[in-house]
């Protein structure tokens, strides 16, 4: 088998056995492709399995340094290294490479990236807006408000929201998330009302297709949602780089600030690991005090609760 044969089988394994999403598969494939291109430039010859077998730790360090010099972040380098390690793990099953060298490469140190939630009053202002942009059909504003309400109510990823079919909208909905794992989300009455308002105003028949569509009636793209939010950023004092994911951050942050337990938020977000949810516990002292006063038995007793 050639190196390309092993790459194809590796991608197939990630898709079938690991059930990685199409987006993740593309990222892994792209990272490995970029790594192999660097090796060809680094050694001045075509790659083979034998090339990978003889790599030294200095070769991996040279690759990461090359990426940094091209402006790629430590976080991007860390992800790329994980992708390459995944492929090496696959080759190691056939005793084609030794994992000791690649696992000796230190993962780039990452700065702590805290989520940037949108303030509650700003979210309510968005949801109560009459129209976002002049000379634009009103149904588009109603669509955007329905998206924002849905994301903030459920903590859905934008990709999950845009895959919803109109016929599946209900008080309780089953959502397929990362790794093709299903979870249940609950829609509050105000959210359902906003979705109904959007459906009624939309000039297209949404009954048999996707719930959220663009100006031509086709499935809405996540990039369109993010681009429109960027245009609204200054107008509504949104955080820098506010994309649709900011509503997911806001959902989790506001729940925890109001006393929700971490395990429940983990389930609602569809996180596989609790560590992914723990970033939302970085709330300020004021909110911590509110939770403490509301939840601690001694505080309840001092307030006359029984």
Please compute Rg for the chain using Cα positions: 24
Asked if pLDDT for residue 257 goes beyond 50, the answer is: yes
Asked if pLDDT for residue 280 goes beyond 60, the answer is: yes
Point out the residues that are catalytic: 157, 178, 245, 248, 271, 280
Does the domain at residues 120-291 carry the CATH identifier 1.10.443.10?
yes
**65 or 305: which leads in pLDDT:** 65
Residues 208-237 have pLDDT tens digits of 899 999 999 999 999 999 999 988 887 887
Cα–Cα dist 11/27, whole Å = 11
The CA-atom distances, in angstroms, between 244 and each of 43, 145, 228 are 43, 12, 10
Residues 28-46 have pLDDT tens digits of 999 999 999 999 999 999 9
Cα–Cα dist 194/149, whole Å = 8
Domain boundaries, the chain: 3-102, 120-291
Residues 89-144 have pLDDT tens digits of 999 999 999 899 999 998 877 665 666 788 888 899 999 999 998 889 999 999 99
**What pLDDT, on a 0 to 100 scale, did the predictor assign at position 20?**
83
The confidence band for 296, taking pLDDT boundaries of 50, 70 and 90, is low
- pTM, rounded to two decimals: 0.60
The CATH class for the domain spanning 3-102 reads: mainly alpha
Neighbours of 189 (CB within 10 A): 8
Residues in CB range of 146: below 8 A, 6 or more apart: 191, 194, 195, 197, 198, 212
Q: Kindly report the average pLDDT of the chain as a whole number.
A: 85
**What pLDDT, on a 0 to 100 scale, did the predictor assign at position 306?**
46
């Amino acid at each position: 088998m050639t190196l390309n044969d092993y790459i194809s089988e590796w991608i197939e394994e990630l898709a079938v056995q690991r059930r990685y999403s199409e987006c993740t598969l593309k990222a892994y494939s792209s990272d490995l492709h970029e790594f192999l291109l660097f090796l060809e430039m680094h050694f001045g010859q075509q790659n083979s399995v034998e090339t990978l077998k003889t790599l030294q730790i200095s070769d991996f360090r040279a690759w990461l340094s090359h990426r940094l010099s091209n402006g790629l972040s430590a976080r991007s380098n860390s992800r790329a290294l994980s992708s390459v390690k995944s492929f090496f793990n696959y080759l190691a099953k056939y005793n084609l490479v030794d994992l000791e060298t690649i696992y000796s490469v230190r993962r780039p140190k990452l700065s702590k990236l805290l989520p940037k939630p949108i303030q509650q009053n700003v979210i309510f202002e968005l949801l109560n807006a009459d129209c976002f942009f002049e000379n634009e059909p009103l149904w588009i504003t109603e669509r955007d408000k329905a998206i924002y309400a849905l994301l903030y109510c459920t903590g859905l990823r934008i990709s999950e929201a845009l895959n919803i079919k109109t016929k599946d909208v209900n008080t309780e909905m089953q959502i397929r998330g990362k790794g093709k794992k299903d979870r249940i989300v609950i829609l509050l009455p105000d959210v359902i009302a906003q979705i109904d308002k959007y459906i009624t105003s939309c000039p297209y028949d949404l009954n048999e297709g996707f719930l959220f569509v663009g100006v031509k009636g086709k499935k809405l793209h996540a990039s369109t949602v993010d681009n429109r939010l960027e245009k609204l950023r200054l107008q509504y004092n949104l955080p820098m780089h506010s994309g649709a994911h900011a509503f997911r951050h806001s959902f989790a942050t506001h729940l925890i600030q109001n006393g929700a337990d971490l395990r429940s938020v983990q389930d609602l977000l569809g996180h596989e690991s609790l560590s992914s949810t723990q970033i939302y516990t970085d709330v300020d002292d004021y909110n911590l005090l509110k939770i403490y006063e509301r939840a601690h038995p001694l505080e309840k007793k001092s307030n006359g609760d029984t």
